[in-house]
């Protein structure tokens, strides 16, 4: 019991001495606490990414694309298809999909950040390789989240200055929309090039087919004229002026009749040179179109001609699409999506107060340790 009392008294004396020492060294303690608090304050003043800026971007209404209804209709109903075919449609769905794709690759974010004064100062002393690494790390602070089945996306960006962060988001969205517009313009232009290329191929192919068929028809007409001319000469040699043929072999009676043109049993010259020469004269006085109408293969030729006219009519489609490309070049795409950075949410991630409190507590702890060590050396 006596030992325990002595120990208790010893502890009491030590605490009393510690308190007494603390009072005596109050300025030392206050100075240590002040120094550590000041260090915490200075650290808290170092610029850091203290704000999270959130901006919502929604798909626009179809009314924003009314001027492109004709363009989309021509593309959708065309027999020519691109891969993917949606890549040329100027509508709310395709624009929003392309915008998400553009913003997800960080290229626009990097381009915008490169021109920011804060980033320029941050990287001015870095090597080219380290600059590339640093700009990519900053771009990663730009996060895109899809919501509501691709009807809406939320951009989250961590930056030290909320106003500057909102400005960066605006620039990235604007640049991305311009890139979407250029991509659509190039896709439509490629579509037009494919149509024109296909037209040339079809027109050349149809022209060759028509040329071959026309030559065949002309050769048949020429062959017929040669045949008629020879039959006329035979009829003249035989003195057969009018149409003759035997219908009764027993009586050998000659009767004037119109010869059957397709009969293999009757020699053609029996029609008489008068009729044959008249047929030759009629053929020679017909136009090419009339001769085609009378020739075998007429239906096939004019079907090819119809197809050729239809293919050439696609020039209207080409010219229409080219006009729409010009319209697209002049279009300001800012209304292609719905967003307003005035409604951006700014959430502070400021850790300056916790830092100051931490260093203040650390100052107290260090000052207490200093007093204890001082007491130990006094003994």
Is domain 50-200+337-347 annotated with CATH 3.40.640.10? Answer: no
The position carrying tokens 């009491």 is: 12
Please give the C-alpha separations between residue 209 and each of 52, 136, 288, 290, in angstroms, as whole numbers: 69, 60, 17, 20
pTM given for the model: 0.62
Sequential pLDDT tens for the chain (379 residues): 444 444 444 444 455 565 566 566 666 667 777 777 777 666 666 555 578 889 999 888 888 888 888 888 888 776 655 555 567 888 998 899 889 888 888 889 999 999 999 888 888 888 888 888 888 888 888 888 876 656 788 889 888 888 999 999 999 999 999 999 999 999 888 888 888 888 888 889 988 988 888 888 888 888 889 999 999 999 899 888 887 754 444 444 444 444 444 445 467 888 889 999 998 998 888 887 777 777 776 788 888 888 888 877 777 778 888 888 888 888 889 889 998 877 788 887 666 667 667 767 776 777 777 766 666 665 5
Enumerate the domain spans of the chain. 1-48+351-379, 50-200+337-347, 201-317
Residue 259: the pLDDT is 40
Cα 132 versus chain centre, distance: 27
Percent of the chain as helix, strand, coil, to the nearest 5: 70, 10, 20
Q: Which residues pair with 152 in a beta bridge?
A: 58, 147
Q: What is the pLDDT of residues 260-271, one digit of tens each?
A: 444 454 678 888
The radius of gyration of the chain from alpha carbons, rounded to an integer in Å, stands at 48
Among 131, 155, 152, 132, which Cα is nearest to 142's?
A: 155
Q: At CA 20, angle to CA 14 and CA 21, rounded to 5?
A: 90
What whole-number percentage of the chain has pLDDT above 90? Answer: 12
Q: At CA 351, angle to CA 345 and CA 355, rounded to 5?
A: 170
Q: Which helix (H) or strand (E) element contains residue 159?
A: strand 152-159
Residue 271: the pLDDT is 85
Q: Kindly state the tokens that stand for 64.
A: 């924003």
The position carrying tokens 């991509």 is: 183
- For helices 162-238 and 273-285, what crossing angle results, to 10°? 160
Rounded distance, CA 102 to CA 262, Å? 74
Our CA dihedral for 14, 20, 21, 27, rounded to 10 degrees, sits at 150
Rounded distance, CA 144 to CA 125, Å? 31
The position carrying tokens 């035997």 is: 246
> How many other CB atoms are found less than 10 A from the CB of residue 352?
15
Q: Is 267 helix (H, G, I), strand (E, B) or coil?
A: coil
């Amino acid at each position: 019991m006596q030992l325990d009392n002595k120990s208790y008294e010893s502890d009491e004396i030590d605490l009393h001495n510690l308190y007494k020492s603390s009072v005596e060294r109050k300025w030392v303690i206050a100075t240590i606490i002040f120094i550590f608090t000041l260090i915490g304050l200075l650290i808290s003043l170092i610029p850091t990414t203290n704000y999270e800026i959130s901006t919502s971007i929604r798909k626009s209404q179809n009314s924003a694309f009314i001027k492109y209804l004709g363009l989309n209709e021509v593309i959708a109903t065309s027999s020519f298809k691109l891969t993917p075919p949606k890549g040329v449609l100027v509508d709310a769905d395709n624009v929003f999909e392309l915008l998400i794709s553009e913003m997800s690759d960080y290229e626009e974010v990097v381009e915008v950040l490169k021109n920011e004064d804060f980033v320029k100062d941050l990287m001015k002393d870095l090597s080219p390789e380290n600059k590339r690494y640093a700009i990519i790390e900053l771009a990663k602070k730009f996060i895109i989240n899809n919501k509501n089945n691709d009807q809406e996306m939320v951009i989250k960006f961590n930056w030290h200055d909320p106003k500057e962060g909102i400005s960066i988001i605006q620039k990235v969205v604007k640049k991305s929309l311009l890139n979407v517009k250029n991509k659509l313009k190039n896709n439509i232009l490629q579509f037009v090039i494919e149509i024109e290329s296909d037209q040339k191929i079809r027109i050349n192919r149809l022209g060759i087919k028509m040329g071959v068929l026309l030559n065949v028809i002309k050769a048949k007409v020429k062959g017929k004229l040669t045949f008629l001319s020879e039959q006329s000469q035979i009829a003249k040699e035989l003195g057969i002026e009018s149409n003759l043929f035997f219908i009764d072999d027993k009586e050998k009676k000659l009767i004037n009749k119109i010869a059957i043109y397709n009969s293999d049993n009757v020699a053609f010259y029996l029609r008489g040179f008068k009729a044959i020469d008249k047929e030759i004269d009629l053929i020679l006085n017909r136009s090419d179109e009339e001769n085609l109408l009378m020739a075998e293969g007429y239906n096939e030729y004019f079907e090819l001609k119809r197809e050729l006219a239809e293919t050439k009519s696609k020039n209207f489609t080409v010219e229409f699409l080219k006009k729409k490309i010009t319209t697209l070049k002049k279009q300001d795409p800012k209304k292609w999506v719905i967003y307003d950075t005035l409604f951006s949410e700014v959430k502070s991630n400021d850790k300056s107060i916790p830092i100051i409190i931490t260093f203040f507590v650390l100052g107290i702890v260090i000052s207490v340790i200093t007093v204890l060590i001082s007491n130990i050396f006094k003994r």
